[in-house]
Amino acid sequence: MRVGVVYGGPSPEHDVSILTGLQAVHALAHAPGMGSVRSLYWSKSGDWYEVQVAVEAAGFVEGVPPNSARLRLISGPGGGFFRPASGLRGREDHLDLDALLICCHGGPGEDGSLQAALDLTGVPYTGPTAMGAALGMDKLAFGALVIYAGLPALPRVPLGVDSEEPGFAPPYILKPRFGGSSIGIEVVADFDTARARLTANPHLRRGAILEPYQAEMFDLQVALRSWPELQLSAVERPLRTRGGGEILGYEDKYVGSEGMTSAPRELPAQIEPELEQRIRALAPEVASLVGLRGVARLDFLSDGEDVFINEINTIPGSLSHYLWVDPRLAFTSLIFDMLTEAIQRPAAVYSSAGSDGSALRLAGSIASKLG
């Protein structure tokens, strides 16, 4: 199998995406029977490069690693990644790939933008569809869908400069509407403070939401995968250790030698069996709602008795491979299953069925339609 691993991108989670991507590149490079692995880096400026497979994380600190080759992503039939023509090479070289493993977190790599571009190329890719990615990135839309389906979730409302106070009491959790990994999330004491933060917090510029903050709540997480069948990992309770913050923050999750893999946690979570059973019953319902594809992580909030669906991370850090502990699932097995699904269950299949020309034959002149 010829695989391209895609990571990076113009996102606040650029660095974490590199860590996930390099974990996958190195794992595949040493996997028995692997055909070829291409390490495809999406820079902060939005440019594409092929990076040498052996490059480590430190090679990206100053930007694009040395000896990287510039690439172009071209849409349309027969599209994909190309190495531009130069020197004696009179034409662009197409990177022949059977599938792409997407390891991008946040931004256009996880909000459906990259997925939509790849749909136009016809190159198979792992993870959510364009629509599934967009839904997972939009906290307001995802929350509304969960509540509409009758599943347990805390209320959340959009916040703008002209918004009225919500129907729940402060303090509040203030979140970017679009984004992930706790970046830009704050606990605010009152509504005026929340509204003032709209201009002070750059992560809120595309939209913001408010939720009630309940200090007794803690986080619980479970990974889901859709291939070869729907399966759930162990339930995890991530721990807040860095500075004792009020919420599980970005540093709690990712600042470590291996990103999410090295974050502090209880795994499996030390919770009551009834609570775990409820989480395991809710997770498949959410998977059905969002059209789960690939590997995702579903985040819950609980006080030890009640449990509420919080968010879905459609391309989780380290692909959540560390959560598969009972039974243990090898990282390479997880990746190969994702790639198999990418090839056998395409994210998008377009059809022009029904476009038989009848509307054109009956249309008359365009001028008559302009009135």
List the chain pLDDT tens, one digit each, 371 residues.
Answer: 999 999 999 999 999 999 999 999 999 999 988 889 999 999 999 999 999 999 999 999 999 999 999 999 999 888 999 998 876 666 889 999 999 999 999 999 999 999 999 999 999 999 999 999 999 999 999 999 999 999 999 999 999 999 999 999 999 999 999 987 678 999 999 999 999 999 999 999 999 999 999 999 999 999 999 999 999 999 999 987 655 556 655 555 555 555 556 678 899 999 999 999 999 999 999 999 999 999 999 999 999 999 999 999 999 999 999 999 988 999 999 999 999 999 999 999 888 999 999 999 888 888 887 86
Question: Mind giving me the DSSP string for 84-109?
Answer: PPBTTB-SPEE---SEEEE---SGGG
- CB burial readout 97-114, b (16+ within 10 A) else e: bebbbbbbbbbbbbbbbb
305 φ/ψ angles, rounded to the nearest 5 degrees: -120, -65
Token pair belonging to 264: 């502090």
Distance CA 228, CA 236 (A): 23
Give residue-wise pLDDT tens across range 87-105: 666 688 999 999 999 999 9
Instruction: Say how many Å lie between the first and final Cα of the chain, rounded.
Output: 57
User: Pick from 96, 104, 22: which is nearest to 58 by CA?
Assistant: 22
pLDDT digits (tens, 9 = 90+) for 287-325: 999 999 999 999 999 999 999 999 999 999 999 999 999
Evaluate the CA torsion angle 331, 31, 293, 112 in order and state its sign: positive
Domains for the chain: give ranges and CATH numbers. Answer: 2-125 (3.40.50.20), 128-154+215-327 (3.30.470.20), 155-213 (3.30.1490.20)
Q: DSSP of 150-182, one letter per residue?
A: T------EEE-TTPPPPSSPSPEEEEESB--TT
CA angle, 149 then 131 then 316, to 5°: 85
Compute φ and ψ for 16, nearest 5 degrees: -65, -35
Question: In this structure, what token pair is assigned to residue 45?
Answer: 């400026």
